[in-house]
Amino acid sequence: MNFIVIGCGRFGAELAYRLFTNGHQVVVVDSEPQTFNRLHPDFRGRTVEGDSLSADTLSRASTDKADGVAVVTNSDTMNAVIGHTVRVHYPEVRQVIVRNYDPAMREMLEAFGLQIVSSTAWGAERVQELMIDPSFRAVFSAGNGEVEMYEMFIPEKWNGMTISELLSGCHDIVCAALTRAGRAELPSPSAKLFKGDVLTISATLEGVRSLRAKLQEGKEA
């Protein structure tokens, strides 16, 4: 597939190299030629120097042939304008994703209707989770961390209980899978849990907090 990464800061350079090592054709665009020095020595994609808002620059980057464009400069305003420009003038591009650098600017980006990834907000969310309770391991994050999938190990206290009993009174949680002895299944609410099972849940942070509180009550009982 053909991808364009606009912005060759540390984030953009890492993204470009990851795409390249996965076998994709990658073009990196930046207005400052020295930023291309951040690219990994093994990177063999193309680099295009120029103003990302220039029609000439986007043309030289072969935007009309791109499957996806990632706009990841350190300016939220530039990301919004460039992302909007690409989406309007190159409707054939299937994915236009912009980086949100400052969480305070997310509403502005959302006003453009763009697909947003907030590295700052997502990173803070993950650190918070690990600091509160590392026993809930996040395995997938949707959006910017508003909803995530977690793996939790069933403790001795809940041995023999059902999923509905475990989740009773907890909000914003959906059970996605139950893994036992290495085999996963889509469980019913009446399925019994046993020590050592791995329960995969989809939840908001508030949902996980309510489940943690319930488990803590169980330990203290």
Q: Model's pTM, two decimal places?
A: 0.66
Tell me, yes or no, whether 77 and 34 share the same domain. yes
pLDDT of residue 134: 58
Tell me, yes or no, whether 17 and 76 share the same domain. yes
pLDDT of residue 96: 94
Task: Provide the domain count of the chain.
Answer: 2
Q: Return the CATH number at 84.
A: 3.40.50.720
Tell me, yes or no, whether 52 and 144 share the same domain. no
The one-letter amino acid at 31? S
pLDDT, averaged per 10 consecutive residues of the chain (221 residues), comes to 96 96 96 96 96 95 96 93 94 93 84 84 73 71 82 85 90 92 90 90 88 69 41
